[in-house]
Structure 1
Amino acid sequence: MKKLTLITVALFFPLGSMANEVSLKDFLSQTWKQNPISDISHLQDQQADEFSKAASGRYMPHLSADVIDSSGMPGSTSSLHVGGLMGSPYRKGLGAGVIWDQLLYDFGRTDSLLKKYKADADVAEARLAKEKYEFVARLSSLYLGCAHDRAQISSDNHLIQLGELIARETSKMTDTGQKTIVDRSLTKIDLDDLKLELFDLKESLARNNSEMKLYNPGQDLLCSELSEALAQDSYSDLKVKPPEVLLARASHNSAQALMESASAEQKPLLSATGSYGYLQDDRLVSKEDYSVGVGLTFPFYNGGEDRHKEAAYHLLAQAQDKELQFAMTEFKVHIDKLDSRIAQLKSDLRSFETQSNDAEKTMKVALNRYLHLQGNLVDVRESFKRLRSAEAGRLKVTEDLVSASLERSILDTSGM
Structure 2
Amino acid sequence: MPPVNRQNDGGQGLTVLGLETSCDETAASVVRLGPDGATVLSSVIYSQIDEHAAYGGVVPEIAARSHVEMIDTVTRQAMEQSGLDWSELSGVAATAGPGLVGGVMVGLSYGKAVALARDLPLVAINHLEGHAVSARLGAETAYPFLLLLVSGGHCQLLEVRGIGDMSRLGTTIDDAAGEAFDKIAKAMGLGYPGGPALEKLAASGDGSRYDLPRALLGRKDCDFSFSGLKTAASRLAQTCETDQDRADLADAVQKAIARQLMERTERAMKAYLESHPELVAYDAEAGTSKSGQRLFVVAGGVAANKTVRATLQKLATKYGFGFFAPPMAYCTDNAAMIALAGAERLEKGWVSDLDAVARPRWPLDEARATGDPVHKKQGRKGAKA
Which TM-score applies when normalising by structure 1? 0.23
Higher percent of residues as strand: 2
Which TM-score applies when normalising by structure 2? 0.24
Higher percent of residues as helix: 1
